[in-house]
Amino acid sequence: METSAEIAEAAGSTDPDVGLRAVAALRMLTERLEILQVDNARRLGWSWQDIAVRLGVTKQTVHRKHGKRAGRLG
């Protein structure tokens, strides 16, 4: 498994196969990090609005994406 730094470097490759695979890997990493941090924020009592502002999305968007899972944290 490549490190995040290796994946980020590969995303700039002139070889589309390497670059696109790196983009896909970064997308998966970003999704996992978002889940981790949204769950962390909810555990600490952050509102959906606070989280949405940090992610640059609407409160409805973040709640629709994470609400069911985050509801099981409490």
3-state secondary structure of 15: coil
Q: What are phi and psi of 71, to 5 degrees?
A: -65, -25
Kindly state the tokens that stand for 60: 């409805």
Query: pLDDT value at position 8?
Result: 85
pLDDT digits (tens, 9 = 90+) for 42-71: 999 999 999 999 999 999 999 999 999 866
Query: Tens digit of pLDDT for each residue in 10-23?
Result: 999 999 999 999 99
**In b/e form, how buried is each residue of 8-26, taking b as 16+ CB within 10 angstroms?**
eebbeeeeeeeeebbeebe
Model pTM?
Answer: 0.81
